[in-house]
Each structure stands twice: as structure tokens, then as C-alpha cells.
Amino acid sequence: MEMDTKVTVHDAMTPSVITADPKTTVVDAAVLMSRFKIGSLVIKGETGPLGIITESDIIAKVVAKNLTANEINIGQIMTKDLIFIDPGSELNQAARIMAKNSIRRLPVIDNGILVGILTSTDVLMVSPELTELLVENARMENQKEFTDSDSSVPGTCEVCGNYVDYLDVFDGKFVCEECKEDLDGD
């Protein structure tokens, strides 16, 4: 009998997630983040997760614009197009999603219910071999303004299984250039 040794998001995620209502002020959100020593809050409504707010959001959307933090609700500045992952997904898939979308936190949602959060730190602690993927993403972000690069990321091609420095998304799969050309020719 063969054992399944794949590491899932559930294995690495933090199950307790600090959440806030979209009507919470930015000041109160910052106090929560400081108290719990976290860098983000998931914003929840009656129907489930609505978005996420990070320290970076507060800096870029409030502090840098010299807005009054106790007059702004986090619902006004949260990231609404929530990128999330299922707890049964493989950890390397989560790392790819983080790298591709230049994010460090992924809410973990199971059938519409928030069950945890996965951070880049969680990924690195459970699966250090994925460090290269996340570090390469940071390098790509720093060089983004100087390159003509599209949204390629390093990783294992989902068609041929080879590790390459640049994967592209084709028909919902991460594929190497050679496999992309083969698939595109079909």
C-alpha cells in the first residue's frame, strides 16, 4: 500500500483567523492587528468572507494619503476580490498562487466557510523547499518595472513534470514554454 505524502494547505494553515466587520474603523483594525501581532484581517459579512485588509493597505490607502484613520471603515479600503484556497489543495499549489498574485496571505475556505489562513511564513515552516518559489517571486516584484516579463513563475510543469524557471498559465494549468507550444498547436 502506497502512502500519500503530499502536504496540503490544511497541514500548514493557521486555523484561528482574526476577522473584522467591514464597518470597523481603520484605527480599530490596526489595534487588533497590533494586539494579536498579525499583518492582516479577513473581513467577514453575514454571508462569509468579503475581503482582506493588510498592514500594507493601511499604509498605502490611509497613511500615505494623510486620511483620518478613525473616519474610514476597513470595508472602504479592503481588497474585495478575495483570492482563497481550499484546505485540501496541495501546498505547492498555494505557493504558486501566492507567487503569481504577489500576495503573502491566503484565506482558507471550505464550502464557503472560513476555516483558516495560510501565510508565506506557514508555507516556509512546513515546506522549506518552496522557499525558492517565494523568494523568486520577491525578486520578480523588485524587478517588475525593469522587465517586459509577463506573469511567469518558477515551478514544476503540470504537463511534463519538469522543474523550470518560468511557468505560464495555459488552460488553467501551470506549464513550461515547450508544453505550452505543444498545447497551443493542438
Q: Is 179 annotated as a binding residue?
A: yes
- All structural domains of the chain, each given as residue ranges with its CATH number in brackets, are 9-126 (3.10.580.10), 130-185 (no CATH)
- At residue 171, φ and ψ (nearest 5 deg) are 50, 40
pLDDT in tens, the chain (186 residues): 444 468 899 999 999 999 999 999 999 999 999 999 999 999 998 888 999 999 999 999 999 999 999 999 999 999 998 999 999 999 989 988 998 888 999 999 999 899 999 998 888 888 766 666 665 655 555 444 333 344 556 677 778 877 777 777 777 677 888 888 888 775
Q: Is 176 annotated as a binding residue?
A: yes
